[in-house]
A and B are shown apart, each in its own frame.
Chain A
């Protein structure tokens, strides 16, 4: 193959790839978030995350197990959530994927992949991280075993009054 033809083939392939990528990204944006069976551990985590994102802390708090709620009152949870949001800073976006889950009797573990994006434009940075959430079966419903602020443990951010 001649020099000009091989360069032309490469250029043509890349232009075609650009067109295909644009179409795929446009179509992918129309996709709805993944839905899970009602009552499954995954659905509990999704409900919690949606509530957290919407600022509905009551629903988020109700996703925790009885033992977890005894360790932190709702008022403390609200204060801790506020502190967490303040410490997080702006211009951070997270996308959460469920990697896999395991169920062992009345305990379940959900393994998440969290894609965090900072900044914008040419300053944008993305990194991927893995988290796991433990759940317990309570009265036939799956509850998150530890109180969380987003995906972090709430106790790591709790404010303790002096004295």
Chain B
């Protein structure tokens, strides 16, 4: 099938499937309303259901035949005919299936959260309840229709995979879908669980008003957090389980999954996000504590212990995810029995931790240096109490971020000392150093612009007004912190670069025979033989090949001449 025809068939299938799904959902909703799921009205007629039914029948009447014909044509081309194999392996097909699965799972997640909210609101009714009027029938219908659509397309993909090896987009696009859903499921679950833990702490403490920690009551907060935790958990566990099952399977799919870059990239991404969220939550509690010490918070809406405990409780799911994923990654690397992979996993784990710690530490340091400049040069930023709130916040970031960076970086420095060439040639280390330098440079752009603005304004006599010291102290602080990062990491990068050519040369004799498929025994004999390098020269047009052949003819037994 040519690409244009393939695009047409999948585009038509997508559009008609959307029309069909909307129609089927409306149809089921009307039926459930009729069965009394919405309740019996005490007032007013209900002509809306007949109108909705008419529209639903029209949508199904239009969508069903168009989708059925186009999908039948698509599936026939994959299962029969000379081009069947090419169709099964087509990237467009994988993209279509992944996109449909993603849209269906997204709608299903929203509907499932709505369903949980409805159930919770029935168990814990509230006055002025924003979610109280969510339509149960509509939610159930949506869930049913998208679940059916998802199952149909997931089964189609399973048949494609069972048909034989897939490459390129046909292999990685559906995998990307799986890991994206796994990632967002995990994030939503952890966020929801953190909120539940927070509510539980406030509830157990007996704080009279749950507004002490945030707006709304216990029931309202649970109604927000519980659906996220339940639906996120379901999405995360189901898709992570599917990925692990694929990775553990025999055949091409398992092998492809194990060596996949998406699978490899998922792990540090989760560790980075978990580390970031953990520090954010813990910093919230620490900022309250520092606020008390610095006298910035004079009136607490709940006791200090409750506020700190609530922040710590919200961090617990993220800390658990951080620790668990770190452990799973290292265990998986150890299970391969390959020391190289073990080193790689440890290196990746440490660098991700260092990057997150550095981000928090650098931002906080930049702000603190800025305030110091302001105080020393007589600025006005420390007039009033507002800056103390910021001080407690940034101090909390520094207190948590810098030790995290130092802890990971000191171990990485020890690794580098133990194996300078190995660490210098590590792509993970290079990526970390370049990322630190790149982000630091990008973050200075705004600060530089402010400094230049004031400078040019002063030179042109623009009379910009304001307190120049106060306006410049923050960007200057940021510039100093960024410059320190760029210089330090730049020096590390340069030092690595000096070590790298030597490392590459040392690796060359091993790499070349491997690519030439020379037997290991021959490699060993070759490496222990005595040798000298010669260069054969001659005038223009000389037959050097003939000379070489002549020389080979007079060599003693056991000696050879090889071209370099």
Contacts and interface: CB of A to CB of B under 8 A. Distances in A.
Interface stretch (A16-24, A78-86, A135-143): A16-24
Interface string B24-42: 1001101101111011111
Interface in B129-172: 129-130, 132-135, 152
A124 B51 contact: yes
B43 A50 contact: yes
Given A17-B27, A17-B31, A132-B127, A93 B132 contact: no
Contact of A113 (B28, B33, B36, B39): B39
Interface stretch (B55-63, B91-99, B404-412): B55-63
A3 interface: yes
Interface string A78-102: 0000000000000001111111100
Contact of B42 (A6, A22, A28, A98): A98
Given A14-B24, A18-B60, A95-B46, A111 B127 contact: yes
A95 B44 contact: yes
Nearest to B122: A100
A31 B129 CA distance: 29
A46 B31 contact: no
Contacts, number: 134
Interface stretch (B68-76, B217-225, B385-393, B443-451): B68-76
**Most chain B Cβ neighbours within 10 Å, of A4, A99, A132:** A99
A39 B34 CA distance: 29
A28 B76 contact: no
Contacts of B127: 109, 111, 132
Interface string A24-48: 1101110101101000001001100
A103 interface: no
Nearest to A124: B51
Contacts of A99: 39, 132-133
A100 B42 contact: no
A80 B241 CA distance: 63
A112 B349 CA distance: 55
- Give the interface size class of chain A: 35 or more
Name the residue in B42, B64, B135 with the highest tally of chain A Cβ atoms < 10 Å from its Cβ: B42
B79 interface: yes
Contacts of B31: 17, 20-21, 24-25
A117 interface: yes
Nearest to A4: B72
Contacts of A128: 133-135
A27 B38 CA distance: 15
Contacts of B130: 130
A33 B51 contact: no
B47 interface: yes
A117 B53 contact: no
SS class, residues of chain B in contact with chain A: helix
B310 to A, nearest CB: 30
A117 B76 CA distance: 44
Given A29-B46, A53-B43, A97-B40, A3 B35 contact: no
Among A20, A25, A33, A117, max chain B CB count under 10 A is at A25
Contacts of A22: 53, 57
A46 B55 contact: no
A75 interface: no
Given A7-B71, A14-B24, A124 B48 contact: yes
Contacts of A4: 72
Contacts of A109: 127
A25 B53 contact: yes
A85 to B, nearest CB: 15
Most chain A beta-carbon contacts within 10 A, residue among B20, B24, B36, B48: B48
B125 interface: yes
B50 interface: yes
Interface string B227-253: 000000000000000000000000000
B285 to A, nearest CB: 36
Contacts of B43: 33, 46, 49-50, 53, 94-96
A56 to B, nearest CB: 14
Contacts of B53: 21-22, 25
Contacts of B55: 122, 124
Interface string B68-92: 1001100110010000000000000
Given A3-B76, A21-B34, A130-B129, A93 B45 contact: yes
A129 interface: yes
A70 interface: no
A28 B71 contact: no
B68 A7 contact: yes
B471 interface: no
A126 interface: yes
B500 to A, nearest CB: 55
Given A29-B49, A53-B44, A96-B41, 11 more contacts: A14-B64, A20-B31, A25-B50, A27-B34, A33-B40, A34-B42, A95-B41, A96-B43, A99-B132, A111-B132, A117-B48
Shortest Cβ-Cβ A-B pairs, 8 listed: A24-B34, A28-B34, A95-B44, A3-B75, A96-B43, A49-B43, A128-B133, A34-B40
12 contacts: A14-B24, A21-B53, A24-B30, A25-B50, A29-B46, A49-B43, A96-B43, A97-B39, A98-B39, A122-B55, A128-B133, A130-B128
